[in-house]
Chains A and B, each alone.
Chain A
Amino acid sequence: MMSDKYPLADDGQSRRRFLKVLAGTAGALIVGIPLIGATAEAADAPFPLSMLGDTLYGLGAYVRIDADGKVLIGARDPDTGTGVATALPRIIAEELDADWAQVTVTGLGLGVENSNEQPRWTYGRQIGGTGDSIPAAWNDLRQAGALARWLLLQAAARQWGLPAERLHTDNGQVVSPDGRRLGFGGLAQAAAKIAPPSQAVPTKAPNLYRLIGQPVGDVDAYAMVTGQAQFAIDQNRGDALVALLVRCPWPDGTLDGFDANEAKAIKGVVDVIALKPEPNQPLGATVYAPAVAVVAENTWLALQARAKLKVNWKPGASQGESSAVLEQQATDLINDKDQAPAARVRDDGDVVAANKKAARRLEAVYVQPWLAHATAEPMNCMARIDNDHATLIVPTQAPQRAWAVVQRLTGLKPEQIDIQVPRVGGGYGRRLDHDYVAEAVMLAKAVKKPVRLLWTRDDDLTHDYYRSASVTKISAALDHKRSILSWNQRVASASALVGRGVQDQRLWTSEVDANQLPAGLVPNYRCDWYGLNSSMPRGPARGMPQLSNAFAVESFVDEMAHMLKENPLDTRLRLLGEPRQIPLQGGGTLDTGRLINVLKLVADRIDWSRWLRTFNGLGIASWYVNGAYVAHAVEASLQGQKLNIERVVCAVDVGRVINPMGLEGQITGATNDALSTALNLAITYKEGQIQQRNLKDYALASMAQLPDNIETIIVPGEDRPPTGASFLAMPTAAPALANAVFRVSAVRVRKLPLMRELLRML
Chain B
Amino acid sequence: MAVPVQAQGAPPSPSGSGTIAPEKVREGIDLDINGERFRHTGDPKMPLLWYLRDVLQLTGTKYAGEHGSGNGADLVLVNGKLTPAIGVTLEELLGKEGKSEKIAKVVTVEGLADATGKLHPLQQAFIDEDAIGCGYCTPGWLMASKDLLDRKHNPSEDDIDQLPNLCRCGCQTRVRRAIKRAASVIGGNK
Contacts and interface: CB of A to CB of B under 8 A. Distances in A.
Partners in one complex: yes
Interface of A: 1-2, 5-8, 79-81, 217-218, 220-222, 224-231, 233-234, 236, 242, 298-300, 303, 374-378, 423-426, 428, 454, 456-458, 661-662, 665, 668-673, 676, 693-697, 700-704, 706-710
Given A226-B119, A300-B50, A300-B54, 8 more contacts: A217-B128, A221-B132, A225-B119, A231-B62, A234-B59, A425-B136, A703-B163, A704-B158
B66 A458 contact: yes
Nearest to A729: B170
A378 B70 CA distance: 11
A interface SS class: loop
B174 interface: yes
B130 A225 contact: no
The interface size bin for chain B is 35 or more
A230 B62 CA distance: 10
Nearest to A228: B60
Interface in B49-74: 50, 53-55, 57-66, 68-71, 73
A81 B130 contact: no
Contacts of B82: none
Nearest to B175: A703
Given A676-B170, A694-B65, A709-B176, A225 B126 contact: yes
B148 to A, nearest CB: 11
B24 interface: no
Contacts of B65: 456-457, 694-695
Q: Which of A298, A425, A428 has the most CB of B within 10 A?
A: A425
A236 B54 contact: yes
B59 A227 contact: yes
A628 to B, nearest CB: 18
Nearest to A661: B130
Contacts of A707: 173
A1 B43 contact: yes
Contact of A425 (B46, B109, B134): B134
A-B interface, 5 closest residue pairs, ranked by CB to CB distance from nearest: A227-B60, A672-B170, A81-B134, A425-B136, A694-B69
B134 A80 contact: yes
Given A676-B168, A694-B66, A695-B65, A668 B174 contact: yes
Contacts of A670: 170
Contacts, number: 208
Interface in B163-189: 163-176
A710 B170 CA distance: 11
Contacts of A1: 42-43
Given A217-B130, A227-B110, A700-B168, A377 B136 contact: yes
Nearest to A698: B69
Contact of B168 (A2, A300, A374, A696): A374
Contacts of B161: 702-704
A131 to B, nearest CB: 15
11 contacts: A225-B126, A227-B60, A227-B61, A231-B62, A300-B50, A377-B62, A377-B136, A456-B65, A668-B174, A703-B163, A706-B170
B175 to A, nearest CB: 8
B54 A6 contact: yes
Majority DSSP secondary structure for residues of B touching A: loop
A669 B137 CA distance: 14
B166 A695 contact: yes
Given A236-B57, A696-B68, A673 B170 contact: yes
Contacts of A233: 59, 62-63
Name, among A7, A376, A708, the residue most crowded by chain B CB atoms within 10 Å (CB to CB).
A376
Given A236-B59, A669-B169, A224 B138 contact: yes
Nearest to A458: B66
A303 to B, nearest CB: 8
A706 B170 CA distance: 9
A377 B62 CA distance: 8
Given A457-B65, A695-B65, A377 B54 contact: no
Contacts of A226: 60, 109-110, 112-113, 119, 123
Interface string B116-139: 000100110011101011111111
Nearest to A221: B127
Interface in B73-127: 73, 108-110, 112-113, 119, 122-123, 126-127
A376 B66 contact: no
A81 B1 contact: no
Contacts of A708: 157, 176
Contact of A378 (B47, B63, B171, B174): B63
Give the most central of B47, B69, B164: most A CB within 10 Å: B69
A423 B135 CA distance: 8
B83 to A, nearest CB: 16
Given A5-B42, A695-B65, A703-B165, A710 B54 contact: no
B56 to A, nearest CB: 10
A221 B134 contact: no
Given A426-B169, A676-B168, A224 B132 contact: yes
Contacts of B160: 703
Contact of B71 (A230, A661, A695): A695
Contacts of B41: 5
A577 B57 CA distance: 61
Nearest to A222: B127
B162 interface: yes
Nearest to B157: A708
A671 B169 CA distance: 9
B142 interface: yes
B70 A6 contact: no
B22 to A, nearest CB: 20
Contact of B42 (A6, A242, A377, A676): A6
B15 to A, nearest CB: 15
Contacts of A702: 161, 164, 166
Contacts of B62: 231, 233-234, 376-377, 425
A426 B65 CA distance: 15
